[in-house]
């Protein structure tokens, strides 16, 4: 059902510093920051030959990743994102197998302009999983 790894998301307390590290020390191509108020984050994508790294930073007071920083003040890996061909079919199959879809269960438009869903980490070996329609 899952396709390729779309990205690994890393929550960072200082977006500028993280971008500078990836751009400078690692020599990576780093996108401009993009605010996603509906998701409560600012994102930057680090382009790699085979996938991307998404750097996440809180946007606004009600950012859903604020609680992540309470437990992990230095930041860290936040989620992995896999591509699926049909997000509604994937959601329905996962729910029929007992997986929990976060939020209201309906896809939202993600940073790439495509529908996304998040799956409960307790159902996936402690890892928050994002599905993105390819």
Catalytic sites, residue numbers? 130
Dist CA 71 CA 44 (whole Å): 22
Give one DSSP letter per residue of 53-98, joined into a string.
Answer: EEEEEE-STT-TTHHHHHH-TT-EEEEEEEEES-HHHHHHHHHHTT
Which residue shows structure tokens 């996603």? 36
Which residue shows structure tokens 């930057």? 44
Q: Which helix (H) or strand (E) holds 83?
A: strand 76-84
Quick check: helix, strand or coil at residue 92?
helix
């Amino acid at each position: 059902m899952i396709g390729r790894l779309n990205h690994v998301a890393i929550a960072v307390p200082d977006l500028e510093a993280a971008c500078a590290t990836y751009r400078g020390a690692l020599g990576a191509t780093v996108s401009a920051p993009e605010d996603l108020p509906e998701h409560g984050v600012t994102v930057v994508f680090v382009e790699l030959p085979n996938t991307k790294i998404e750097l996440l930073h809180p946007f606004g007071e009600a950012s859903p990743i604020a609680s992540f920083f309470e437990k992990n003040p230095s930041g860290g890996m936040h989620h992995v994102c896999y591509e699926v061909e049909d997000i509604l079919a994937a959601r329905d199959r996962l729910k029929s197998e007992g997986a929990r879809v976060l939020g209201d269960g309906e896809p939202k438009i993600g940073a790439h302009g495509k529908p996304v869903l998040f799956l409960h980490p307790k159902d996936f070996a402690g890892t928050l999983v994002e599905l993105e329609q390819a």
